[in-house]
Amino acid sequence: MSILIKNGTIVSDGQQKNADVYCNESVIKAIGQDLEVPDNTHIIDAQGQYVMPGGIDPHTHMQLPFMGTVATEDFYTGTAAGLAGGTTMIIDFVIPNPQQNLMEAYHTWKDWAEKSCSNYSFHVAITWWDETVKADMKTLVEEEGVNSFKHFMAYKNAIMADDEIMYNSFSRSLELGAMPTCHAENGEMVFQLQKQLIDQGITGPEGHPLSRPPAAEAEAANRAIKIADVIGVPVYLVHVSTEDALDEITRARSNGQRVYGECLAGHLLVDESVYLDTNFERAAAHVMSPPFRAPEHQKALWKGLQSGNLQTTATDHCCFCAEQKAAGKDDFSKIPNGTAGVEDRMAVLWTHGVSTGKFTPEEFVDITSSNAAKIFNIHPRKGSIQVGSDADIVIWDPELTKTISAKTHHQNIDFNIFEGMEVKGLPSYTICNGVLKYANGELMAEIGSGQYIKRPAFRSIFNALQKQADLNEAKSVKR
Ligand code: DUC
Ligand code: ZN
Ligand code: ZN
pLDDT, one tens digit per residue, over 322-343 is 999 999 999 999 999 999 999 9
User: Which tens digit of pLDDT belongs to each residue from 47-98?
Assistant: 999 999 999 999 999 999 999 999 999 999 999 999 999 999 999 999 999 9
Beta strands (DSSP E) in 224-322 are: 235-237, 259-264, 312-314
Ligand 1 atom nearest residue 66's Cα: 5
Which residues are within 5 Å of ligand 2 (an ion), measured at CB?
183
What residues line ligand 1, using a CB cutoff of 6 Å? 61, 66, 183, 288-289, 316, 318, 337-338
To test the pocket of ligand 1, the residue of 186, 212, 316 to mutate (highest count of ligand atoms within 8 Å of its CB) is 316
Whole-number Å distance between alpha carbons of 467 and 404: 50
- The number of residues in the chain equals 479
CA of 10 to the centre of ligand 1 (A): 35
CB atoms within 10 A of CB 252: 23
CATH number for 53-383+453-460: choose from 2.170.190.11, 3.40.50.1370, 3.40.50.300, 3.20.20.140.
Answer: 3.20.20.140
Q: Is residue 124 within 8 Å of residue 94, measured between CB atoms?
A: yes
Q: Is residue 395 within 8 Å of residue 5, measured between CB atoms?
A: yes
Residue 479 has pLDDT above 70, yes or no: no
Q: In angstroms, what CA-CA distances link 21 with 44, 241, 362, 378?
A: 10, 38, 18, 21
In this structure, the residue with its CA closest to atom 7 of ligand 1 is 289
Chain-centroid distance, C-alpha 460: 23
Instruction: State the pLDDT confidence band at 472, using cuts at 50, 70 and 90.
Output: confident
Find the ligand nearest to 183 CA: 2
* Residue 316, C-beta contacts closer than 8 angstroms, at least 6 positions apart: 59, 60, 61, 238, 239, 264, 266, 288, 338, 339, 341
Ligand 1 atom nearest residue 337's Cα: 3
In this structure, the residue with its CA closest to atom 1 of ligand 1 is 289
CB atoms within 10 A of CB 295: 10
User: Which tens digit of pLDDT belongs to each residue from 378-415?
Assistant: 999 999 999 999 999 999 999 999 999 999 999 999 99
To test the pocket of ligand 1, the residue of 211, 289, 320, 417 to mutate (highest count of ligand atoms within 8 Å of its CB) is 289
Whole-number Å distance between alpha carbons of 367 and 311: 6
CA of 215 to the centre of ligand 1 (A): 18
pLDDT, position 471: 76
Instruction: State the pLDDT confidence band at 478, using cuts at 50, 70 and 90.
Output: low
- State the angle between helix axes of 243-254 and 214-231 in degrees (0 to 180), rounded to the nearest 10: 20
Find the ligand nearest to 67 CA: 1
CA of 338 to the centre of ligand 3 (A): 8
Angle at the Cα of 39 (from 34 to 45), degrees rounded to 5? 55
Asked if residue 290 has a cis previous peptide bond (ω within 30° of 0), the answer is: yes
CA of 60 to the centre of ligand 1 (A): 9
Whole-number Å distance between alpha carbons of 437 and 245: 38
Residue 123 DSSP class = E
Which contacts (CB < 8 Å, 24+ apart) does range 256-261 have? 257/225, 257/228, 257/229, 258/234, 258/461, 258/465, 259/225, 259/228, 259/234, 259/235, 260/234, 260/235, 260/236, 260/311, 260/312, 260/375, 261/236, 261/237, 261/304, 261/309, 261/310, 261/311, 261/312
To test the pocket of ligand 1, the residue of 70, 182, 274, 288 to mutate (highest count of ligand atoms within 8 Å of its CB) is 288
CA of 154 to the centre of ligand 3 (A): 11
pLDDT, position 1: 82
Q: Where are the domains of the chain?
A: 53-383+453-460
User: Average pLDDT for residues 193-205, to the nearest whole number?
Assistant: 98
Ligand 1 atom nearest residue 152's Cα: 8
User: Average pLDDT for residues 102-131, to the nearest whole number?
Assistant: 98
pLDDT, position 467: 73
CB atoms within 10 A of CB 199: 8
CA of 337 to the centre of ligand 1 (A): 5
Find the ligand nearest to 93 CA: 3
CA of 153 to the centre of ligand 3 (A): 12
Find the ligand nearest to 292 CA: 1
